[in-house]
Structure formats: structure tokens, C-alpha cells
Structure 1
Amino acid sequence: MITINGTLGTGLYWRGGQILELGGPLAVLLSFLFVGALAWAVMQCITEMLCIWPIPGALSVYVSEFVDVELGIAVGIAYWFTYSVSFAALIATAAAEFDFWPAFFVNKGIDGGIVYLCIPLVLVLINAFGIKVYGMIEVVSGTIKILFLATIMVCLIAINLGAGPSHKPSMGAHYWASPTTSYDTAAAKNWATALIMSLSISTFAYVGVEIVAASALEAKWPRHRHEGRTDSGVSGRSNDTLIGNSVKFSAIFISVLATIAYSLSGVLVSLDIDRSDCQLPRLSWVSGQMECIGESSNTTSAFVAIAHESGIPNLDDVFNAFLVFTALTCANTNLYVASRALFGLTSRLDGGSGQPWLLRVLAWFGKTNRRKVPMRAMVFSAVAFCWVPFLQLRGGTGTDTSIGIFIEILAEMGSVGVLVVWACECVAFIRYYHCIDRHRTTLQEQKISQVRRWDMNDYNDYPYRSHGQPFLAYMALTGCIFIIVVANGAALWEDFHYLPFLSSYLILLVFIALWVLLKVVRGAQWSFVDLSNPRKVVEKLRNLHDIRLGAL
């Protein structure tokens, strides 16, 4: 449910309408399907390693151990930054949705203090609870979000069938007759370009499918009822195999369920609202006026716009309340993930008195309180970008101001940062796969548990074999690189715009610069970790097993 809360966020309710305006109904369907398939492929790679090593800072550790130490550190920092800045961006998004009710902001100072100060404090308080209480809150809020989504989809179907006094059924269906001829000509030269740009936009909706890697550490693992017996029928399948069974459902199927939800809701939206409707959000950097139908409103969600045009009393208010709840619960989960990412990055640092001051400071964040909550990491993650939403008190919540553009760039950087992490995890799995395949004889002789992927006997303890490997991992890596380099740059093919350039490439440039800086400061070699020596590989795998046992 933690993963569901992080995945079913604002991307579903905001990005679908933006893609519909940009590329039409077919672009909505294809972009959600393609990126959903990519997310599933990436999670296949992550899940296989996660079932073996559910450890603190897992995504960073996998890259450090199988690719490059400094790259792994950079991945951990990028992952923390993504969710820390997204926490602040979601608070700003929720505040923007409050603008739907003009009477809400009677006094900007008082009401702004409630939204920008009190709400984050409440989310920090929720995250301060132990994992049992926090987990139950996530279960309740996640269940409510699923019910919200089901309710919205039922309403969209009813509206399409003619429900409501002023709504015309299937008002957007005519675009499906020629789906490749309808697109925003001011943003893209042709429909194919609009589709490629849509892939970049839809990526935002899938950020969070990998959250299970952050939450798996705190799961309560089931105990084998025969634990402690030594006969061969039980010892071959250890309690570790049950860990794999617990992890893999969330890690694999949430991306599938999200793809189905996004694709279906996107199709329903395309049937219920005209692509030229003035209420649909448009790319903020596109210049020139667009001919649109109807009147614009103070909503950026196609769902709320459809509810408003249906004429059903107060349905748009209900939908907007759903969206505010979604943004805030997603912000709550993002704070959780950011805190665990920072904790995982610093928990194994030596902060002794003889260490450099910077190392001692970082190690300070790798501690938990008596409730096993990394409070220091959590509070720092909350306050690191807490100033961002307050900028809206001066610059407003729209993207037509410099402050609005700045907040949008920060929000967009989050999805690019996760794509970079995904790509690095694919590289880590590829190198892990070839490593254990190359040294299979040694691993067999040394009896290293849970890494004998090729051993298919009845008592094999390998938790999970992902499908079609390593071909699937190579395809997933190619897909990540395509979106990072090609799809994110499609907006610049006709003309240079600084907003999409900064949104797409700033974090990538900073990530590369950070990697290089770490190499220079640490005096490290400019090469990947050596996985050719059997003895070193055995030692590495045993160390990872020790980390896992220590974490559990």
C-alpha cells in the first residue's frame, strides 16, 4: 500500500489531460502503455535482486556493488533528491488545487500558513510514528485512493452515457476516427513528435513503482512453520524464500495495475472531453494562442473539467477534493521514501571521532530512534525544500510566472531523476546476471546461497527468476535511455525552450557532475568494479548476505 500511495499520485489526474491536449486520444493510450511496459521491465530487474537483498538503501547498494561505488552514491543522492523535492512540489500542487475554491483564500497569509506550514507539519508527525502505525495509515489512505479512482471511473462511464443535464455523451469520441491528425501544432510539428513528447510526460505518472525497494526493509517477514528443522525437504527452502514471495507481488504487479488504471482512465477521459477544450492543461512553455472551445477555469485536471461540464451539482467539487487528498497522501509517502533513501545512504558510514567532519555529519543521519524511525533523515528531507511552496504566496500558483516555472522545473526533475535511477538499476542487474553466470561453478562449490539462478532442482533457494533475462534488462535499459535522451529532448527539435531543457537535462547534468566529483574527491579509478575475480565475487556476495541478515 505504501507503493500504491506513491504511484497513484498526481500523474494520473494531471498528466492524462495534458497528453490528450498535446497528442490526442491515441497518444494517451500508447504513452501510458509503453511507459507502463517499461516500468514493468525495470521492476523485473529490481525485484530479482530485491528478493535476495532487501537491505537499507537497496537501489544505491546494487549499483555500488555491481557497477561502480561512486555511481551508487550518486544514485542514492539522486533518489533522495527526487522524493524530497517531490514532497515539496506536491504540497505546492495541493495548494494550487485549493484555488479551485476561490472562497478558500480569504487571507493569503493565514490560509497560506495553513496549507504551506500546518499540512507539512502534520505529514512530518505522521511519518514520526513507528512503522506499524504509519503502515496502517498508508493502508487506510491507499484503500481510500483506490476507491476514489474506482468512483471516478464509474462516473466517467456514466457521464459518457449521457448522465448530467448539460453534458453531451461521447463529446471526444470523434477524435478516435482519425487519432493521428489531432495534436497541438504549436508544440509539435507532427503527431509522431507529439507522441514521443507524450512518452516523456507520462513517465511522471509511474514514478513510485520502485518504492517497494525502500519499504521492503521494514516489512514483517513471515516465518516458515518448519523453521529450525534440518531435513533436506525443509532446509532447501529457507525463510529467505518467503521474503521473495512477500516482495515480488508488490514489485511486479503494481506497475501492471497502474498501467491498466492509467490506460483505462485515459481512454475514458478522451471520450468525455474535447481535445480542444480550454480547460485542458497545455504545456506551459508553448507560445502563441490556441483556438479552444468553452471557457477556461481554475483547474488543471481533465477529471474536474469533465465533472464541471457534466452539470451534475457539486461533482467537480468532489473530484477536486479527491485530487487534493491524492496529492497530500502522495506527499506523505514521498517523505517516507526520501527519509529511507537518506537513511540507507548514511546508515553504514563510520561516524567515529577520527573521521572527517563531513563524514560524521552524514553518519548522524543514519540513526533511528527507539521506534526504529530515521527521524533525523526524515526531518531533514522535509525541511530541505520546505521553502519551495512558500514561493507561491508571492508568485501565485500558475506557470505563467517565473516562480511558477521554477516550481514546475523542480517537479519535472523528479521524474527524470527516477528514470536515471531506473537505468542504473538495469545496468546493475545486467552485470549481476553475467557475474553469477560466469562464476556459477565457484558459487556452487562454495555453497553461496540464493544466487544459483541456474540451479533448477526442487530445493533451490533462488527467490525469484524474472522473465526473459538478460534480454529484458537490455530492453529496459534501452527504453530508459530513449526517454531520457530522445523523448525528453523532443520538445527542443523545432526550437529551443529553456523550460523543457532545464526540466529534462538539468538533473542529468548535475548527476553526471556529481559522479565525476565523487571520483575526483575519492581518488577512485575510472572503471567499473571488477567482477572477474571469483574469490572477490564470493566475498562480495557474502558481504551482501551479511548486510541482509543484519538488517532483518
Structure 2
Amino acid sequence: MSTSHEGSEVPDWFPDWAPTPLAHRQDATATQAHDIPRWNPFTAQAGAGLRPTLSQETTPQPTPTGLAPPGGLAPAISQTEASARRVSAVTAEAEGETGYTYAEEIRIVVQPSQDRLVKRKLRGIHLFMITINATLGTGLYWRGGQILELGGPLAVLLAFLIVGILAWAVMQCITELLCIWPVPGAMSVYVSEFVDTELGIAVGVAYWFTYSVSFAALIATTAALLDFWPGIKDNRAIDGGITYFLIPLVLVGTNAFGIQTYGWIEVFFGSLKITMLIIIMITLIVIKGKAVNSSRGDMTGEYWGDATAFDTVAAKDWGTALMMCLSFATFAYVGVEIIAASALEAKWPKRRTAEDRVDSDISRRSNDTLIGSSVKFSAIYISVLATIAYSVSGALVSLDISRADCQLPRLSWLTEEADNCSVAQDQHSETSTASAFVIIAQQSGTPHLADIFNVFLIFTALTCANTNLYVASRTLFGLTSRLEGGKGQPWLLRILAWFGRTNHRKVPMRAMVFSAIAFWWVPFLQLKEGIGPDTAIGMFIEVLAEMGSVGVLIVWACQCLAFIRYYHCIYRHRVVLEAQRIAQVRRWDKGDWKDYPYRSHGQPFVAYLALVGCVAVMFVANGAALWSGFHVLPFLSSYLIVMVFFGLWVLLKLFRGAKWSLVDLSKPSHVVKKFKDLHDIRLGAS
């Protein structure tokens, strides 16, 4: 290591928020590599815990019994290829009430293998629009009419509001962790580190499955939307050749662009999607206004005369119908959490030099805390914006069409229908749609308005599928990017590690292609004649599509549990964390308030309520469809993925020979090391 580095620059891979190496500090004294004392934990004497300093005196200072070394053990050098190494010394002194003096700490920064890195190029606007494209999907346009028919106007409003509040509460928990550790596979990492390792792996697999299967389901949805036009309906050449084969290829190609280009594509798509939603909402208001003027009625009209009317065939009472509506509304909110999947490519803030800082910033807010500003807005407010959009749109739909309208979609597993619906359905046999928005446009009599609305829906489905493929690929990459698949490793581990690599554009192409083809074959099953919910193939397709929303509920619940254990962990060890100056986990350190990136509201009560809400929707609301009688389709749709998830967790425990216990967070030394390991993962991901 050279002793003189004047005029040299910090390499591009070195994170903006990391401490500047000694060689690049103007006021640092050059130190020869052989002068730096080595910390050897195997030869350290009992009771000696602090790392030696960079001074000539390297005698370790005594550490009080029971207190871990302030710096923990020096991180081991990674087995991956390292192209550069830098040594920095960080001095931490905390004298006063604790009475401890902490010596300097040797930190060795190792560059990870380049083919396991992504580019951090996504700005706040990119992250916001990626989340918009995933959240504002077909859930509103298709499920809104189904909820209206099932539970009536009031159920539409309540279902979207209640699930929206639940989504906001879940995101409060995720955001607080995400602002500290925007790491690859964040959803899996949080659960592994604070709850259970094998459970975290199962969460990662469930999350990948949700978005991979949703990609295929949205392709099938696109085919159903194209069937609205009689010339395309039941055309196997168009369905098989264009919709099921060519369109997925185009979406794979879109995801193959570099992340910066892909980000701007998402901004363009997201802007159009928001514009289309606003146009639809304004059009619904105009349609209602014309109806009021022609009939001289009031804005609520006759449709809200019985706000709690419900489908008596599907449910015995309105309360049961509302529970079922909550289950359906959850599907619309799938995607609010994907900021956790895209945050690993968020752009780090520029390095701030001492000259650029104001007095209040020095030693108050480190550069690494600024990453929270990139992800914070989308993580906090996307659930709020989605709740407003869904609730307002759902209310407008309930004003423009009666829940008794025979064109509204009904539950596929119910065969009983009112006699007066048969004639109405025959009259509209040439055009079919499950969207209440398109039905309202048809009934308004405005030429081509229904066609325009249907084009909007197709665009919504395709852009949502594009984003789902992105999320699935980043989730799989996050699960496998830190696996070591070299010689001597088991064959399964080598295969999984193969997916954790990126190409020359820093795009995880292997993970993306596999995520696309994993369920690509499912829509092709619909080419078989006679497919319906009462057939084995039809039931399989519908169950697979429905499993996505339940999978997200499992992930949400596990994130809330991870946050609860994290919260109690840092509260229990707050004195040690503050004394040792562990960065970004000192939630109660008033003296360095700005070091903690984001404090969510009402914790830990919000986290407990969110956990209870997720479990209630998963087991109670999803099971409400069975209260009037057992049906195979809703049972499998609601509980199959739950059984598979817990089965996978058990298999992982048995395969890995792991203990049936939660992660131990009781020892301060283990907690300090855990937080430093997470900081290292974040550093390696940059």
C-alpha cells in the first residue's frame, strides 16, 4: 500500500456515504500497511475487547465485563474477487454517563464481485412511477365491479378504505427499515435477520412467486380484455401468437434495458396511467351529471338507496359480504410495497465535503442517511395515494351503475343466477367485459367510449405486467446474489448462485428471464376449448391467479413481525447502541436525532395492528366465502399458498438442520454485530 496518495481520487464504486479513506484525507498522516496492527480474536486475552488504534501504542484498553467490543470483530474479507481495498480509521468516543472510552476501529472496505452488483441510478421520480405502475393495475378496474355486485355501494367504499389503511400501516413498518437498509432482497433479509432465517428464505420465495405468477396472470387478463371486441374474441392465433408469446417477449426486452433507461420508461408509462385514471374519473362524473340532469334527480340517485344491498346467493348477510369484499380489495393494493424491491437500485446522494456542509450538518447527519430521502416519499405516500384513487373511483362507479346490473361480474364458483339476468347476458353476448368502467361507458351511449376505456385497461394490464417482471427479477436476484456457488459447493447452491449475477449493463438477466418463463406456459392453457371455472384447467388457472394477493398478505405480515422484533431489540439495547455510536439504529438518541433516517408513526402499536389486520384478512376475510358452504375454488385460492408457504418453511428447517427457535436478539454483542453486518450488506450492494 502506497504511503502517498495526494491527488488521487476515490474510486467510482466507493459509496458516497462511506468514511473517506485515510489516503484521501488531507489532514491524515500516511500510514504504512505494515504499521497497521492486526486484530486477532483467537489470540485476544479474556477481558481485552477493544481494537488496537492506529497509533504506535497498540495495547488494548480493558472493556467492562459483559460489554461487547465497540467495533465488534473486524469484518472478514469477502471470498469474492476484490479489485480494491481501502483502510479507514474511525474514532468513536463516548464519555460521560457510560464512562467508556472507545479506541479507533479498523474497517476494511472490499469491493464485491462486479457481476453481482447493480447500478444505483434510480431517482425518486423513477421509484415513485415504478410503484405506481405496479399498484394501479387491473385490481381496481376488475375488482371494483365485483365488489359492488357482492356487497353493494357501501361495501365498495369501506373495502378500499379499510384495506388502504392496512396497507399504510404495513408500509410504515417497511419504510423505517428500508430507509436504513435498502439492500437486495430486503423483504427476505429483514425477516431472516430479526425473526427466523428459514422463514426469511420462505418469504423471499413467496414474494418472487407472487410477482412471477402475476406476470403470467396479467398476460391472461390482457387476452380477456382483448375479447371485448368480437373480431378478436376466441381467435386462437391472436391469443397464442401475439398475446401469449409476442407480448411477453416485448416485456422481457423492455426489462433488459439498463436501469436508467428502464426507469424513464416507467416514468412515461406511469404518467400515462395516472392521466388515464384521471380521464376515467372525470368521465364518470360527467356521465352521472348527464343522468341527473335528464332525470332531475340527486347525485346519489337510486343506487345508494339501499347502500347495504348484497348478493344473497354468495353471502347470508351483509357482514359476510363485506368480509369477502375485503379479500377482493386486497388484490388492488398488491404492489404498494415494491419500493423495497427497487430500492437496491436507488441513486445514492452526492458526497458532501466539509466545505459544502453547514454547521448544523457536521456530525449531525451522515451521507448514508440521505438515501432515505430517495425512497421515503414513495414508501410512505403511495399507499395513501392508492387509497384515495381506489375509494374515489369505486364511489363514482357505485353512483353510475346499480349493483343489481346483470352485466357486473359474479363469483365464478356460484351457479345460481336470477332468471332476469339470463336475457340481459344474452343481449350482450357479442361483447364481454368484467370491468364496471367499460360497462358504464357502454350504457352511456357515447360512441366508442367503451372502446377507449378498454384500451386504457389493456395498457394498464401490460404496464403492470412489465413492472411485475421487474420486481420478480430483483427479488430472485436479491435472494441469490450473496450465495457462494464456487467449486465444492452443493449443486443446488451453484444453480441458485448462477441467478445472482448481472450482465454488462448490471441487469440481472438470468433472474429476469427465469422469472418470465417460470409461469409463461399458464396462459397457453386457455387455448384449450371448454375452459371454465368448473373444469380442472380453468380452476387451476384461476387459483394460480388468486394466490398472488394472498402471497403478498403473507409477506406483509412477516414484515410487520420483523419490525416488531427490531423495534423491541433496539429499545432493549438502546444504551449500548448509543454508547457505541452504532450508526442509524439509535432511534431514541436525542443528541444525534438526525442520524435515524425515518421514525414511523405510532409504533409499535401500528405494527401490532397491521400484523393483526394481515392475519385477519388472510384467515377470516379470505375464508368468508366458505361460510355459506364449502367450495373448492375459493378454498384453494385462499389457503393453498398458505399451506405451501408453511410447508416450505418446515422443509427448509429440516433440510438445513436448523433450530426451531427465533433469532436470538437478547445479547448486545450479537445485536451490534448483526447491525454492522447489515451495514456491510448495504455497503456491498453499492
Shorter-chain TM-score tier: over 0.9
Measure the CA separation in 2 of the matches of 1:81 and 1:168.
52
- Given the alignment of the two structures, is residue 420 of structure 1 paired with residue 554 of structure 2, yes or no? yes
| Residue 196 (structure 1) aligns with | 323
Deviation at 1:286, TM superposition (A): 1.7
Measure the CA separation in 1 of the matches of 2:354 and 2:174.
28
| Residue 120 (structure 1) aligns with | 248
Deviation at 1:109, TM superposition (A): 2.6
| Residue 509 (structure 1) aligns with | 643
TM-superposition CA deviations, 1:94-144 (whole Å, max 9, x none):
001100011125852355211110000000000000101111110000000
Given that residues 148 and 155 in structure 2 are in contact (C-alpha distance below 8 angstroms), is that contact kept between their aligned partners in structure 1?
yes
Map 1:211-226; keep pairs closer than 5 Å: 211-223=338-350, 225-226=352-353
- Given the alignment of the two structures, is residue 184 of structure 1 paired with residue 318 of structure 2, yes or no? no
Measure the CA separation in 2 of the matches of 1:212 and 1:545.
19
Alpha carbons of 1:227 and 1:151: their partners in 2 closer, same or farther (altered >3 Å)?
Answer: farther
Map 1:58-137; keep pairs closer than 5 Å: 58-105=186-233, 107-137=235-265
Measure the CA separation in 1 of the matches of 2:679 and 2:418.
59
| Residue 678 (structure 2) aligns with | 544
Map 1:240-319; keep pairs closer than 5 Å: 240-291=368-419, 295-296=424-425, 297=428, 298-319=432-453
Measure the CA separation in 2 of the matches of 1:227 and 1:9.
46
Given that residues 347 and 374 in structure 2 are in contact (C-alpha distance below 8 angstroms), is that contact kept between their aligned partners in structure 1?
no
Alpha carbons of 1:67 and 1:454: their partners in 2 closer, same or farther (altered >3 Å)?
Answer: same
| Residue 18 (structure 1) aligns with | 146
Measure the CA separation in 2 of the matches of 1:118 and 1:235.
55
Alpha carbons of 1:395 and 1:3: their partners in 2 closer, same or farther (altered >3 Å)?
Answer: farther
Task: Select the structure of larger CA radius of gyration.
Answer: 2
Given that residues 217 and 523 in structure 2 are in contact (C-alpha distance below 8 angstroms), is that contact kept between their aligned partners in structure 1?
yes
Identical residues among aligned pairs (%) = 72
Which moves more between the two structures, 395-404 or 59-68?
A: 395-404
Given that residues 292 and 298 in structure 2 are in contact (C-alpha distance below 8 angstroms), is that contact kept between their aligned partners in structure 1?
no
Alpha carbons of 1:262 and 1:315: their partners in 2 closer, same or farther (altered >3 Å)?
Answer: same
Number of aligned residue pairs: give it: 551
Given that residues 170 and 271 in structure 1 are in contact (C-alpha distance below 8 angstroms), is that contact kept between their aligned partners in structure 2?
no
| Residue 359 (structure 1) aligns with | 493
Measure the CA separation in 2 of the matches of 1:457 and 1:469.
21
Measure the CA separation in 2 of the matches of 1:400 and 1:227.
69
Given that residues 95 and 397 in structure 1 are in contact (C-alpha distance below 8 angstroms), is that contact kept between their aligned partners in structure 2?
no
Deviation at 1:221, TM superposition (A): 2.4
Deviation at 1:222, TM superposition (A): 2.4
Measure the CA separation in 1 of the matches of 2:535 and 2:395.
32
- Given the alignment of the two structures, is residue 236 of structure 1 paired with residue 364 of structure 2, yes or no? yes
Measure the CA separation in 1 of the matches of 2:301 and 2:526.
37
Given that residues 167 and 310 in structure 1 are in contact (C-alpha distance below 8 angstroms), is that contact kept between their aligned partners in structure 2?
no
- Given the alignment of the two structures, is residue 493 of structure 1 paired with residue 622 of structure 2, yes or no? no
Calculate the aligned-residue CA RMSD, in Å: 2.0
Which moves more between the two structures, 442-451 or 49-58?
A: 442-451
Alpha carbons of 1:292 and 1:344: their partners in 2 closer, same or farther (altered >3 Å)?
Answer: farther
513, 517, 524: which one aligns with 1:379: 513
- Given the alignment of the two structures, is residue 530 of structure 1 paired with residue 664 of structure 2, yes or no? yes
Alpha carbons of 1:228 and 1:372: their partners in 2 closer, same or farther (altered >3 Å)?
Answer: farther
Measure the CA separation in 2 of the matches of 1:36 and 1:207.
11
Greater percentage in helix: 1
- 1:295 maps to a residue whose letter is A
Alpha carbons of 1:486 and 1:110: their partners in 2 closer, same or farther (altered >3 Å)?
Answer: closer
| Residue 466 (structure 1) aligns with | 600
- 2:318 maps to a residue whose letter is W
Alpha carbons of 1:172 and 1:387: their partners in 2 closer, same or farther (altered >3 Å)?
Answer: farther
Deviation at 1:457, TM superposition (A): 3.3
- 1:494 maps to a residue whose letter is S
291, 300, 322: which one aligns with 2:456: 322
SS in 1 for 2:218: helix
Alpha carbons of 1:451 and 1:493: their partners in 2 closer, same or farther (altered >3 Å)?
Answer: same
- Given the alignment of the two structures, is residue 148 of structure 1 paired with residue 282 of structure 2, yes or no? no
Measure the CA separation in 2 of the matches of 1:32 and 1:227.
49
Deviation at 1:240, TM superposition (A): 1.9
Measure the CA separation in 1 of the matches of 2:571 and 2:523.
49
Given that residues 166 and 613 in structure 2 are in contact (C-alpha distance below 8 angstroms), is that contact kept between their aligned partners in structure 1?
yes
Alpha carbons of 1:462 and 1:228: their partners in 2 closer, same or farther (altered >3 Å)?
Answer: farther
Measure the CA separation in 2 of the matches of 1:528 and 1:121.
43
183, 205, 210: which one aligns with 2:332: 205
Deviation at 1:493, TM superposition (A): 1.0
Alpha carbons of 1:346 and 1:134: their partners in 2 closer, same or farther (altered >3 Å)?
Answer: same
SS in 2 for 1:464: coil
| Residue 39 (structure 1) aligns with | 167
- 2:221 maps to a residue whose letter is T
Which moves more between the two structures, 475-484 or 242-251?
A: 242-251
Measure the CA separation in 2 of the matches of 1:498 and 1:89.
20
SS in 1 for 2:314: coil
SS in 2 for 1:72: helix
